[in-house]
Structure 1
Amino acid sequence: TTTATGYSFAKGKSLDFTFLPTGDDATIKMQYVRSASSSRGWLDYMTVNMWRQLVFTGPQMSFANPTGLAEGKVASYQLSNAGQEVSIWDVTNPVSPEKMSTNLQGNTLSFTAPFSSLRQYIAFDGTSYQSVEVVGKVDNQNLHGIKNIDYLIITHPDFMEQAMQLAQYHQTHSGLSVFVTTPALIYNEFSSGAQDVTAIRDFARMLYLNSDPGRELKYLLLFGDASFDYKDRIGGNTNFVPTWQSVPSLNIVSSIATDDYYGYLGENEGGDTADLLDIGIGRLPVSKTTQASEMVAKVIAYGQKNDLTNGPWRNTITFVADDSDGNLHMNDAENLYRLIDTTIHVVNVDKIYLDAYQQKATPSGQKAPEVNLAINKRIEKGSLIMNYSGHGGEVGWSHERTLEIADINSWRNIDKLPVFITATCEFSRYDDPTRTSAGELVILNPKGGAIGMFTTARATYASANLILNKAIFQNNIFSRTEGEYPRFGDVIRRSKLRGDANDRKFILLGDPAVRLALPELNVETTAINGNPVGSVPDTLKALSMVSISGRITDDNGVLMSDYQGVLYPTVYDKASEITTKGDETGYPQAFILRNSVIYNGKVEIKNGLFDFSFMIPKDIAYLYGKGRISYYATNLENDAHGYYEDFVVGGFSDDVAEDLEGPTIRLFMNDSTFVNGGTTNENPVLFALVEDVSGINTTGNGIGHDIVAYLSGETENTVILNDYYEALLNRQASGIVTYPFNKLNPGKHTLKLKVWDVFNNSSEASIDFLVVNSNSMTLSNLKNFPNPFADQTTFVFDHNQSGNELRVELNIFDLAGRQIRTIKQQLTPTTYQTNVVSWDGCTDAGQKISKGLYLYRLKVVNEEGASNEISSKLIFYQ
């Protein structure tokens, strides 16, 4: 009888017993005595050692004596029923067998041998031998001839095409020498074809030791999912590229699944968990070819520089902290914040602390929906790093479920991929073939999620988590060598230099050859209001005009005079003090957060220089204190960042111009082609152009002075949109407000937008729209322009399928009903009004049509198979 408690999945029990069989057949019966009706027992293994007379049964047989072993002892063996043709060999070492010297008397063959250790023997008479089972041919290969490799990718044959594509990308863009192989090929040379994780380690060690000095193996990617089931006993198993499993497996704390084993490449390493990594290891836990393709596309997208991927989000690090446990997790996050503040002060820090938000009691326990919303909003806006401290598991974060699988699957942030650091328990368990963990879903999300995850696959301790979390930040992920930030593989390797057993539960889900997307150039402030910086600090007062000048420099402070690009300055008010609520086992605690934005701009950079002006809003906090300017700049080749804090914000200007008019607002859904009352799908985007002579208020300090959207109709919602305002280039008082709505109910809706200027004058605008689920395709406003036409005309239509892949077929008929032209096209529209290809008035046979009236029909089919048709008419007059 045994009982499993606490962190144990089950408790093991072993029994040893002897018995004397009463016949040739022996029946063994085992019974599990349950402590509860829900208890279950599983038989792991049974070993039977049977004693019998040593009688030759031919044509060959093996035997051994495991009892009575003693140092210096000699044993005598007597094999009866043997003839002179029988030989006995010691096969303890199968690659070096030894023939025993025997003595035959009658039909008894005897020999003596040392009995200090267990020996295995085989007797055979030569009349027949066991045959070799031919499994198949093994192609010639020579992994032992590989050397001077920077990056090793081990993948399953199913994912070889995608792995080769990734290898080609890194050879071209990262300058790495990459080699791709499979576990089976490694087993052929390093474990005689048998599945053995040590074979993978031995191959990596050979590459590491046999390369030329300075060319040692640096990174290993395991391109495929893993499973605790090495023997493929479970249906739908995911043992594509195996991971190392600890012998203890019945307890979530002592159980370990780690890829670190493959990185213990020193002499006598690999026997315990206290060794140090020699290479950086990552895993992409894909189990389908589509996932493999999506992960390669994700890596390539992260390395691209364009208007979508480059933005101020690269200046933000977000700390998320659980509540309870005496504020343990919040304090851990604050420790990390202080480390960041001294290590890389250039970044802006956002804090999402659960205990700072209102919780709700539900039948399934406490929930904090505002935290879910804040996390999702931050993912949408973008964050260089998302760092979580607290409780977690395979389905999400915290007891309040502040991050759930539904949240993860809804993310659409492919252009703003963060690095996740999760100091929590088994959030990213990757070796369970019956479940895809929440952490795996974050990295596998094809439309967003994360680019890489320093995360956990087993239960861990908060104190050890904090140490490793600090090790990622301190002299590691932000430290540049020869001008370059470390690759993810370097980061995970350096973070584990203590050799702590808890660290083995941390893994890198992601490509170890990718670098963090931190800007490499610098932005400096040179003057405020015409006064060079370094003199008396300026004071920026409410309703005063401010001018800022600056430049782009390299690491040596030299002006980048050939830099032409765009600057995104963000000017912050003073930091605020926020006090938590002290829910559960915590207590109220204050923390500092700088989240009040005075000005968000978009400014042209010419020859490395820039300047911009703006008005300080009336809604600043009037107490004097230190402000902050955060800069992000890009020219789509090199980006830059910087900050400036040597100025004061507070007070009220003595020289104030008069402004009594609110902003002008042009409100649309999705894009500026939208017509009031039009149709959208269930995920439309608010799109507004706003302008004011003085500037738009986004501070969030004044009660009721936020940019707010009010949605009414089949879905009711109110959203504060200060963070969703972006200035237009070189226009400090004009900008765009965009906000994506999700899963709106079908039916009519009215959206009202209210915007304030810096003088606290407000304006409102409203728009009506009809939501039709994208599974039910709607088409409208089909037309062609020009119409009538003589040379060429273009067809355009409205729909509710933005973002979906569409197959479009346009058929043109004469008045007799004859089909004269068919035009087919595949497209993925980004707006809800789409142009189809132009038509030159020729038939399918290439003949020009006669002048007159013609009919045309448009058929559209989406990737889910939903379709619709719409018709109209045109006139050709040539």
Structure 2
Amino acid sequence: MNAYDRQGYYFLTERTDEPALVETITPASVPYTLYPHTSSLDYFWHEQELASPALMGKQLLGETIGKDYIKIDYYLPNLSDPSITVLTSGAAKVTASSYLETFVHSGGNRQDMNYSLGSSKVVPPTNNFVYYSCASPCKSLTLTTPAERGQLEIGFWSPNGNVVSAYLDYFIITYQHHNIINAEDGNQVRMGYAHPTDTDVVKLPQVAPTVMVWDVTDPATPKQMLLSDPDDEGSRTFVPGVNSRYAQFVAFDPALTLKKISGYKEIENQNLHGMETPDLLIVTNKVFLEQANRLARLHEQVDGIQVAVVEQEQVFNEFSSGCMDAMAVRLLCKMLYDRNSNKFKNLLMFGPGTFDNRGMLGGKVDNMLINFETDNSEEEDYSFTTDDFFGLLADNAGANVASGKLHIGVGRITCRDVDEAKSDVDKLVKYIGNPDYGTWRNNLMIISDQFDQELHMFQAERVAESLEVNLGTQMNVNKVYCSLFPRAANEPVVPNQEDHRTAKEGRRYWEKMSKQGQYFASYIGHAGHAGFTKVAHMWTMEDVQKTSYEHMPIWTTACCDVARYDGPNRGVAEVMFHKPDGGGIAMLTSSRQAYATDNDVLNRAFINAMFSFKQNGSMPTLGEAYKACKLHFAGTNYNKMSFFLLGDPAIQVNYPKPFFKITSINGTELATDTVPVYPLQEVTVNAQVMTADGASINTEFTGDAYVTLYDYKAFYDTVRNQYSSTDTIPRAVFYDRTRLAEVKGRVQNGLFTGKFIVPRNTTANGRTGLIRVYAHQDGTPNMVNGQTEQVRICTFLPSQAINDEQPPVIESMFINDEATFADGHTIQPDGVLYIHATDDFAFNTQNNSVGNGVSLMLDGGNTTYLNINNYLECSEEGKTIDVAMPLAGLTEGMHTLSFNVYDVAGNKASKSISFVVTPTAQAQLTADDMMAIAGQTTSFDFTTELRSTPEVTVKVTDNNGRLVWSDTTTSFPLTWDLKDNAGNAVPAGAYRYFATFNDGSIYGGTAPQRLIVLAPAKTNK
């Protein structure tokens, strides 16, 4: 049976060349037997596909077998001999060795097949990931009372245990029948012969002169047999003329009604064989074609690569004769790769997958995208789904997928419906089309579980060490190790575990780091469908769903199945990926159970490939990193097959290059000295952006820069790998450093000078701190970073401290639009808060500050926005802060927002604004696409529940809330030519659009939405 399609297909087309004809075989002139065969072998096959106990793999099982054995009818037409052979295949989960039994009911008698114990035995599972065991005994039997119709009685017998669940897979009865053509069999008869010789003769009794016989031993190349003239009884004979192990023939009468096709349809002309080789191939279901094309357009505009989008049905038409088949996609990829292996780099499967590709179990498959499944459906260690199959492109590759070598990067976006597909592409538009180059791109987060003698913390620390030392990223590694965080004493003990409570503090830190922004994150440890960590519940499905943040990391999850995308229920990682306002942008993650040691090897191989700039001077796409981590394994490895790339493989990895060199602190060169700094001292840091060879200053580099001061690092413990006799090097684990100050400035022609003031409260007390610098070059994706530990944070010294008694000034605070907002203004439940404040010395931006940091409260503290620091940017040597913070879900009615801020000397400033939130769902403003191309136009549409269209003012603001363009109208759609109110073309970047309306009785507005303006497409590579 075809595991991918319920039907077979053939194409009929007009051609000018000679048609393929069925060859007629003329037998050799040899003496033939005098006793022709008047009977032949045939079979009765029963198989239903009704169940998949493990919800994985190609194999589907049939009828459920309970305590009472099942009985199934069979029919052996034209039975000519009482000897039959019965093969019964069944599956069961048992507690002790059990046996598959079969009884034949024929002519009123019940006969036991008496299968051997060895062939009929099913064994109990060796672990919880073996779902059933199979047996397929086969034996011959002579019927005591032969009859064409009868029943098989099938069940499992367990002498020393229980049968937990059992199923029939199929049975086959092979028998001898007369060579008679019957109308009820479609006016044809199958004839099988074991060990035919070239002297055999086959006889067809009393057949019409129009009867034909084909040799279908090789069904792809049938051959017509030469029939004798009819004898006196109208019988005809033919000579097989072969000496072989087996031969199969079919006799039929084309003058009578034969079996018919179930239907046909016309196919539009297409020519995938004529397509150009792309950099990225996207295969999708026609349901998602529009969004796949949006994504293609995004890559062409931003990355300048060539993208081809094809519907899977087109692939099947040209590469598998219209039949749904995973091999068809692979053949298309093979064709493209053979044409230009240097160009074709990545494949994206855009759509969901299911283990039940044919929808046999009742699931909806109209929107599904084909995916490869193993034949094994019973044991999770050897059963997997993988898109790697499509990327095994060497000649004669693919026989063993688990040992195959990837030639291209492969990823999948598992969107289940059109709305989710649009949301997923919107998320990519924000990430790729308007990348935010804030300091979050200099952050990494490594998370580990507890248990297993701290194996996972050891593995996590090795990853962190590699990123910091071997790979030389100079990025800020944030550690969310479960063991580093105390458990709340009032938390309930997790059932059946040894005094382990929920890691509430670890969860809070995970959330805090996520909202702060991380370029990359890796989880290492135990996990499952519902969350991460074995018993600590540090990050659950609920946490994922309720936690929103702006910056989406690239994830790896070195753990068990958190993204079983071919099953009916989503895992926690898949939910993260599809969350529009959180989660991740792409994930190397698992669809099956997996094992810690190989998980760690795969994870580190991916990270080494992703962060490979120090080694090879370039950065890969995610697909290339994925390919590299799979190629790291030699030979057959089933564990690696549990992992796949959830996301777009064409995402270009881009992190800071380590070319930003700190040269001096407070005028002291860093070549030899460690520089002391003091609380409330103004510190000056000089740095320079170097060329790639480190020989000179890169004078072409100009752009925004940040300098950050961190406290000392506190020692936690030393961990060892207790499971290895070779990997024995102990690793010292430290807590994360506390950020003390961060200030934005500018690099000008490769040179940077930044100033900050050390906060009054530090814990270093003379110990070593850390200074990081990070910068982004204007108009490019280029980033650089650097760091030094040659700074000692001393205790407070009055002679070094500034004298500041002036409080900050909050110069503006408004929602959505500065030009029109005023106290008492009416807004929608969702909006954007903007704040601008200044100080004569510097603001306190310490991330662990208690009582004298930045705070934002709604209605006197009913709601406190603890994440405001994540939306705050400090510039002008620390003297200016700007906030652009989304507000969501505000309740209807009057509200007051109160903002408090302190400078480093502890001086405080406060400001409050009041506003009225109107009811939701009055109106909605939408753009035709959140992605617009500079030099073109975009249009807005306005929908309302009001009886008449009111007068509407559409406004577009920049990231600071400044009005860029507006227009007032009562007619939609409204076209914007991407020019500001002064008639100048707006630069590429992110904008927000919203509307206010008034119909004379109701005044309202719409929630701000994102609009990304892209620069014109780059030249294709």
Shared fold, TM over 0.5: yes
**Are the equivalent residues in 1 in contact too, given 2:613–2:657 (CA < 8 A)?**
no
**Are the equivalent residues in 1 in contact too, given 2:552–2:582 (CA < 8 A)?**
yes
Q: Tell me, in whole angstroms, the C-alpha distance in 2 between the residues paired with 1:713 and 1:701.
A: 22
Partner AA of 1:376 in structure 2:
E
**Are the equivalent residues in 1 in contact too, given 2:953–2:968 (CA < 8 A)?**
no
Match of 1:271 in 2: 399
**Are the equivalent residues in 1 in contact too, given 2:529–2:572 (CA < 8 A)?**
yes
Pairing partner for 1:470 from 604, 615, 619: 604
Match of 2:745 in 1: 603
2:427 is the alignment partner of 1:312: no
Match of 2:472 in 1: 344
Pairing partner for 1:572 from 695, 701, 710: 710
Q: Tell me, in whole angstroms, the C-alpha distance in 2 between the residues paired with 1:542 and 1:166.
A: 50
1:460 Cα shift? Answer: 0.9
Q: Are the structure 2 counterparts of residues 447 and 229 from structure 1 closer, same or farther at C-alpha, using a change threshold of 3 Å?
A: same
1:691 Cα shift? Answer: 5.3
Match of 1:243 in 2: 371
1:225 Cα shift? Answer: 1.2
1:713 Cα shift? Answer: 6.7
Pairing partner for 1:460 from 594, 619, 635: 594
Identify unmatched segments of 5+ residues in structure 2. Answer: 1-91, 95-124, 496-500, 724-729, 924-939, 970-997, 1009-1021
Q: Which residues of 2 match residues 303-702 of structure 1 at below 5 A?
A: 303-305=432-434, 309-342=436-469, 343-359=471-487, 361-362=491-492, 366-398=501-533, 399-414=535-550, 416-432=551-567, 434-479=568-613, 484-497=618-631, 498-499=633-634, 500-519=637-656, 522-557=659-694, 558-578=696-716, 591-620=733-762, 621-652=764-795, 653=797, 655-657=799-801, 659=803, 661=805, 663-664=807-808, 666=810, 692-699=839-846
2:367 is the alignment partner of 1:220: no
* Cα-to-partner distance string for 1:87-127 (whole Å, 9 max, x where unaligned): 42211223322233556765363635546433221112442
1:235 Cα shift? Answer: 3.2
**Are the equivalent residues in 1 in contact too, given 2:282–2:309 (CA < 8 A)?**
yes
Q: Tell me, in whole angstroms, the C-alpha distance in 2 between the residues paired with 1:423 and 1:505.
A: 11
Partner AA of 1:461 in structure 2:
Y
Q: Tell me, in whole angstroms, the C-alpha distance in 1 between the residues paired with 2:220 and 2:149.
A: 35
Identify unmatched segments of 5+ residues in structure 1. Answer: 779-803, 812-818, 841-853, 865-878
**Are the equivalent residues in 1 in contact too, given 2:681–2:802 (CA < 8 A)?**
no
1:318 Cα shift? Answer: 0.5
Match of 2:180 in 1: 55
2:289 is the alignment partner of 1:160: yes
How many residue pairs match? The answer is 805
* Cα-to-partner distance string for 1:658-695 (whole Å, 9 max, x where unaligned): 64747447496867978789888877888766655543
Match of 1:794 in 2: none
1:17 Cα shift? Answer: 6.1
1:490 Cα shift? Answer: 0.7
Q: Tell me, in whole angstroms, the C-alpha distance in 2 between the residues paired with 1:129 and 1:142.
A: 36
Partner AA of 1:181 in structure 2:
V
**Are the equivalent residues in 1 in contact too, given 2:824–2:916 (CA < 8 A)?**
no
**Are the equivalent residues in 2 in contact too, given 1:330–1:353 (CA < 8 A)?**
yes
Match of 1:816 in 2: none
Match of 1:843 in 2: none
Q: What is the RMSD computed on CA atoms of the aligned residues? A: 4.4
Partner AA of 1:503 in structure 2:
K
Q: Are the structure 2 counterparts of residues 576 and 722 from structure 1 closer, same or farther at C-alpha, using a change threshold of 3 Å?
A: farther
Match of 2:130 in 1: 8
**What is the SS of the residue equivalent to 1:568?**
strand
Q: Tell me, in whole angstroms, the C-alpha distance in 2 between the residues paired with 1:705 and 1:731.
A: 19
Q: Are the structure 2 counterparts of residues 579 and 733 from structure 1 closer, same or farther at C-alpha, using a change threshold of 3 Å?
A: farther
2:89 is the alignment partner of 1:89: no
Q: Tell me, in whole angstroms, the C-alpha distance in 2 between the residues paired with 1:108 and 1:419.
A: 73
Q: Are the structure 2 counterparts of residues 535 and 100 from structure 1 closer, same or farther at C-alpha, using a change threshold of 3 Å?
A: same
**What is the SS of the residue equivalent to 1:92?**
coil
Q: Are the structure 2 counterparts of residues 174 and 691 from structure 1 closer, same or farther at C-alpha, using a change threshold of 3 Å?
A: closer
Q: Tell me, in whole angstroms, the C-alpha distance in 2 between the residues paired with 1:579 and 1:591.
A: 5
**Are the equivalent residues in 2 in contact too, given 1:73–1:116 (CA < 8 A)?**
no
**What is the SS of the residue equivalent to 2:659?**
strand
**What is the SS of the residue equivalent to 1:600?**
strand
1:757 Cα shift? Answer: 4.5
Q: Tell me, in whole angstroms, the C-alpha distance in 2 between the residues paired with 1:839 and 1:126.
A: 75
Q: Tell me, in whole angstroms, the C-alpha distance in 2 between the residues paired with 1:827 and 1:100.
A: 81
**Are the equivalent residues in 2 in contact too, given 1:87–1:124 (CA < 8 A)?**
yes
Q: Are the structure 2 counterparts of residues 762 and 171 from structure 1 closer, same or farther at C-alpha, using a change threshold of 3 Å?
A: closer
Q: Which residues of 2 match residues 4-153 of structure 1 at below 5 A?
A: 6-14=128-136, 16=138, 20=143, 23-31=147-155, 39-57=164-182, 60-65=187-192, 77-82=202-207, 85-100=210-225, 106=233, 107=235, 109=237, 111-114=239-242, 116-128=244-256, 130=258, 131-153=260-282
Partner AA of 2:745 in structure 1:
V
1:574 Cα shift? Answer: 2.1
Partner AA of 1:149 in structure 2:
P
**Are the equivalent residues in 1 in contact too, given 2:703–2:775 (CA < 8 A)?**
no
Pairing partner for 2:385 from 251, 257, 263: 257
Partner AA of 2:749 in structure 1:
N
Q: Tell me, in whole angstroms, the C-alpha distance in 1 between the residues paired with 2:296 and 2:554.
A: 21
**Are the equivalent residues in 1 in contact too, given 2:707–2:771 (CA < 8 A)?**
no
Q: Tell me, in whole angstroms, the C-alpha distance in 2 between the residues paired with 1:637 and 1:32.
A: 69
**Are the equivalent residues in 2 in contact too, given 1:2–1:11 (CA < 8 A)?**
yes
Q: Are the structure 2 counterparts of residues 423 and 657 from structure 1 closer, same or farther at C-alpha, using a change threshold of 3 Å?
A: closer
Q: Are the structure 2 counterparts of residues 464 and 656 from structure 1 closer, same or farther at C-alpha, using a change threshold of 3 Å?
A: same
Match of 2:85 in 1: none
Q: Are the structure 2 counterparts of residues 838 and 501 from structure 1 closer, same or farther at C-alpha, using a change threshold of 3 Å?
A: closer
**Are the equivalent residues in 1 in contact too, given 2:473–2:658 (CA < 8 A)?**
no
1:600 Cα shift? Answer: 0.5
What's the TM-score once normalised by structure 2's chain length?
0.69
* Cα-to-partner distance string for 1:548-574 (whole Å, 9 max, x where unaligned): 222334424443434443212112222
2:336 is the alignment partner of 1:207: yes
Q: Tell me, in whole angstroms, the C-alpha distance in 1 between the residues paired with 2:390 and 2:379.
A: 23
Counting aligned pairs with the same residue, the percent is 24
- Higher mean C-alpha deviation, range 422-431 or range 41-50: 41-50
Match of 1:732 in 2: 878
**Are the equivalent residues in 2 in contact too, given 1:60–1:122 (CA < 8 A)?**
no
Partner AA of 1:351 in structure 2:
K
Q: Tell me, in whole angstroms, the C-alpha distance in 2 between the residues paired with 1:480 and 1:810.
A: 60
Q: Tell me, in whole angstroms, the C-alpha distance in 2 between the residues paired with 1:448 and 1:478.
A: 27
Q: Tell me, in whole angstroms, the C-alpha distance in 1 between the residues paired with 2:913 and 2:473.
A: 45
**What is the SS of the residue equivalent to 2:363?**
coil
What's the TM-score once normalised by structure 1's chain length?
0.80
